[in-house]
Every structure is written in structure tokens, then in C-alpha cells.
Amino acid sequence: MNGTMAASSHRIMLGPLVAAIDQGTSSTRFLVFNSKTAELLSHHQVEIKQSFPKEGWVEEDPKEILQSVYECMERTCEKLTQLNIDISNIKAIGVTNQRETTLVWDKETGEPLYNAIVWLDLRTQSTVERLINKTPGRNKNHLKHKTGLPISTYFSAVKLRWLMDNVDEVHQAVVSHRAMFGTVDSWLIWCLTGGKSGGVHCTDVTNASRTMLFNIHTMDWDPELCKYFGIPMEILPRVRSSSEIYGLMKSGALSGIPISGCLGDQSAALVGQMCFQDGQAKNTYGTGCFLLRNTGVKPVMSEHGLLTTVAYKLGRDKPACYALEGSVAIAGAVVRWLQDNLGIIGSSEELEKLAASVGTSYGCYFVPAFSGLYAPYWEPSARGIICGLTQFTNKSHLAFAALEAVCFQTREILDAMNQDSGIPLTQLQVDGGMTSNKLLMQLQADILCIPVVKPSMPETTALGAAMAAGAAEGVSVWSLNPEDLSEVTSEKFEPQINPEESEFRYARWKKAVEKSMNWETMDTNKNHSSENGQVQGLD
């Protein structure tokens, strides 16, 4: 009896809870927050398998992604129950996701028609080169005035085009009006709200702005862009704001709870870091590295290789806010590569130990251009290189060079950001899985020559999605008024080396980057033929 009493009185104290699904490139998480204090109460994480069927190809299984979401939900609910927290207190669910990753499924069977083509995937390189060659003056920024993006393998439209051209099942489904296209958010929301039995086919403005089919000024799908890529508009999800009730959960322990927040992972981190003012910025260290700076209600076009993207639109009648984004393809992925491909470390914690044991890369530079170079270069022909090797170089120096690579790439996008805005950032707010690496954080401060500030609750991406869900009209359990936002505790890393040494190392890095470029060009691309050949869909 007493136990029950204590539990129920404890439950009353907690107030309403809000959950978030965080479906990233390398893992899925489900997290539950207290909407009044933003405290993380419980979570569960499941790794996602990536497959690399050919050189430069990266795929994930849509059903495995969905299954991982259900598993994380169930496990988290079990953990909450063990903590005596009543799951009926969860009032809303937000979704945040790896962006650009492209899925097509059959609306009648609910089955995916091919694996998800991950944002990092390079199979569309020759398509992209063809598209750029067709533009006046071979200009990769030909569509930037509408999309804010360069024509690149990174965005969804070219991946979707590839699926329609090369996967018979996709082509057939499009012709017979059974196909649905979506990024990961759309796939999850459609499945969770009922799938083939009335599932809601939608996306939010932030995810839509990464497809190259969305006009960031009209805030809707653009008929001319769809025509340019040859995409029938009927297969696209409906675009909604980032904070509104899209539909209700249809199964499991959380059945009946509204899904009311949706943000691409980088936008979600911006919200979770409370960067609501024009000029505020954050850098997220995940599979890739993404620096976003809020530019307010006007889209700012970059002169220095950054993307213009939708930051958020927190309600149907609220204004959209925009951001400048510096995107780096390979950050945490380099750790996975050192672990899985080279086998020189057994875990990411080991990388920090190995690098710390030498404290320098000893003149070794590692440019991990595995998927070409993203911002600020947008050079799809670049490939990874390790240079400056001597007989003295060992795996510890390589580990250190890998961490430095993440920091140098961040410095490049920060420089571009400062040039574009004319107002240099005086400190960098950071988050994401790699920020638990203290050596990396200190290196980052040293290489940027400004302090790096890390919140003690690192799950800012999930927090942002929970905030959007909890603040939605009809849920309204989370206030986004500046005076109501909870105070965030954080850790600060101050630069410790002299700026001259930092500048010397950075100049060397730029020299290494030059050497990585123009490696894989179309005429020598031995995989070129696979581009046009038929590819078997999922069995």
C-alpha cells in the first residue's frame, strides 16, 4: 500500500511528460522528458546496421529502422514503469531524424520497395554531374535561388530519381499510383499512425527543405523543381509545420498519444540548444558535423559554400525561421571507420585514449572525404587521404589526426559562417555523441581559438523534438516563451594553445584538403555502368 502511495505521489510531482523518437544514421533512440524541467527521465538506444553493397553506396533497411523505433519505445516504457513513472503521463511524441535519406514504399501493402538510400550515398554522382553539365554555365548553384542548396548527391531528389530509373518495383509503383516517397520522418509517422490503414503521409518544413523539391520562399513543393527532376507530385508527403498534431499513435503501449512534433535532426538540435534568436548557433557532432546559425525570418544566401535551410516553424500560424548551415559528411563516421574497417580501436572511448597517449598527430593529416567534400567545397570528386606520413607515424598519431580532422572541418565551416554573417561567433555551442570526448572538445577550442560550450545534457536533438511536440496546439504542455525555458548547465573548454600554432596547423590542413580533390572523376569512374543498369529491389 505504502509503496503505491509513494509512487502515485511521486507521479503527481512529475507533471506532464513528452517523448521523442530520435532516428539517426547510426542508431535509434527513444527518450522521455519532464516538460516542466526538461529533465531526461529515461531512454533506450538501438544501433542501426548500415550496408555498403557497392563502393560509395550506403543503405539501411526501412523495416529495421521501424522495428528499432518500436523496440526503443517498449524498452523505455519498461524502464519508466520500473522507476514508478506512469507512462499515461506521456502527453505527446516528437520525431527527429537523419535528413535527406530517401525511401519509397507501396501504400497498399505498406512494404518498402527498396532499401533506404542514406544521405551519405554516392551512387548518384554521375546523375549529379549530368544535371550540372545541363545547367547554363555548368553551375551547381543553378537551383539555389529556390532551394538554398547546390545540386549534390547529398539531397533527396537525385536519390529518388535514381530509384525511379533503376529499381523496377519503384518505377511500376509510380506508374500504377501506389508509390509513396518520404524521408525517414514521413516513413515513421505514416507507419506509426496506421500505415496502410489510414496512416498520415506528411513531412515538416525542415525535412522538406532538404529534398531539392521544396521552395524555401513559398514554403511548399515547387512544380518547376519537380518537373526538373521528373518527380510526380502525387507521391510527395503533405508539408506541415514542425509543431502540430499530425496524427495519433495506433498501436503499442503508447496507442492514442498524439505525434505532434517533427524536425530534421539538425533543426531539432538548434531548438534543443534554445537558439531562437537571430545569430545564435550550434554545432552537432554525429555521423557528420553540422553547424547551424539562426538567421531569423529571412533566408540568407551564402557566398561561401553554406546551405540555406529552414530552421523550424513552430506552429501552423507561426512564422518560419531560417538558418545558414555548414554540413560536414564525416565526423563520428571516421571513428566507426577506424574501428570497423581498420580495426585499430575497439570503441570510441579507445580512440580518445590512443590519441591522448601521443598528444599530437606529428605532422600527419587525415582528410576523411569518404563521400566527397561537403561544405564549404561541395566537391563530389574528392576522396579520403592521409598525408604527411613518416616512418615515425603510428596508429596513435592517426587517431589524433582523425580527431583533428573533425575540428579542422568545423573551423572551415565556422570561417565561412563568420564571413557570411559579418559577425564572428565569440563561442561555439556544441552537442552530439562525440562531445563526450573531452580531448576532442579541447582540440576544438584550440583550433577555433574561441571557447567551446557543451550542455551537461547532451541529448539536445531529442530535446528539440520533444519541445516542438509538447508546445503544439492541442497539447500545450511545454512553453517555449524565453522566460519559461529552463536554465541549462554546461561545461566550457577554453583555448589553450597560442593562435600562431593553431594557424600553422590549419594552413597545413588546407594543403591536405587540396590534395584530396579531383580524385574520382566521371571518365574514370569504374562504377559508372552500374548507374544505368537495373538493380533488383528488396525481395
Q: Assess whether pLDDT exceeds 90 at residue 493.
A: yes
Q: What are phi and psi of 448, to 5 degrees?
A: -85, -20
Count of beta carbons in the 10 Å neighbourhood of residue 521: 11
Q: What angle do CA 517, 523, 528 make, to 5 degrees?
A: 100
Per-residue pLDDT, averaged over 223-237, amounts to 95
Residue 286 pLDDT class (50, 70, 90 cuts): confident
Dmax over CA atoms of the chain, in Å, equals 78
Residue 291 CA to residue 406 CA, distance in Å, equals 12
Q: Assess whether pLDDT exceeds 60 at residue 22.
A: yes
Contact 221, 212 (CB under 8 A): no
Residue 237 CA to residue 146 CA, distance in Å, equals 19
Sign of CA dihedral 250, 256, 262, 268: negative
Most confident of 97-101, 370-374, 428-432: 97-101
The per-residue pLDDT for 522 is 58
Q: Assess whether pLDDT exceeds 80 at residue 50.
A: yes
The per-residue pLDDT for 533 is 39
Summary mean pLDDT of the chain: 90
- Under DSSP, the state recorded for 302 is P
292 burial via Cβ count (<10 Å: 0-12, 13-18, 19+): buried
Categorise residue 256: left if φ over 0, alpha if ψ from -120 to 50, beta otherwise. Answer: left
* CA 65 from centre of chain: 15
B/e letters for 101-124, b = 16+ CB within 10 Å, e = fewer, are: bbbbbbbeeebbbbbbbbbbbbbb
User: Which cell numbers hold the place of 459?
Assistant: 541529448
Q: Assess whether pLDDT exceeds 70 at residue 530.
A: no
The per-residue pLDDT for 536 is 35
Question: H/E/C letters for each residue in 188-215?
Answer: HHHHHCCCCCCCCCEEEHHHHCCCCCEE
The per-residue pLDDT for 13 is 58
253 burial via Cβ count (<10 Å: 0-12, 13-18, 19+): middle
- Under DSSP, the state recorded for 523 is G
List of residues 6+ apart from 427 with CB closer than 8 A: 450, 451, 452, 453, 492
Per-residue pLDDT, averaged over 435-453, amounts to 93
User: Which cell numbers hold the place of 183?
Assistant: 524521408
Per-residue pLDDT, averaged over 93-104, amounts to 97
| Beta strand pairing call for 90-97 and 258-264 | parallel
Contact 107, 182 (CB under 8 A): no
The helix, strand and coil proportions of the chain, stated in percent and rounded to the nearest 5, come to 40, 20, 40
Count of beta carbons in the 10 Å neighbourhood of residue 409: 30
pTM of the model: 0.88
Q: What angle do CA 295, 297, 303 make, to 5 degrees?
A: 40
- Higher-pLDDT residue of 95 and 459 is 95
The per-residue pLDDT for 5 is 40
Per-residue pLDDT, averaged over 405-409, amounts to 94
Q: Assess whether pLDDT exceeds 70 at residue 249.
A: yes
Lookup result for grid cell 516513413: 187
Residue 17 CA to residue 36 CA, distance in Å, equals 8
Categorise residue 215: left if φ over 0, alpha if ψ from -120 to 50, beta otherwise. Answer: beta
Q: Assess whether pLDDT exceeds 50 at residue 534.
A: no
Residue 153 CA to residue 375 CA, distance in Å, equals 13
Percent of the chain, pLDDT > 90? 71
Per-residue pLDDT, averaged over 311-325, amounts to 95
Listed residue (316, 254, 265, 272) closest to 290, CA to CA:
265
Percent of the chain, pLDDT > 70? 94
Q: Assess whether pLDDT exceeds 90 at residue 28.
A: yes
Contact 406, 440 (CB under 8 A): yes
- Higher-pLDDT residue of 514 and 457 is 514
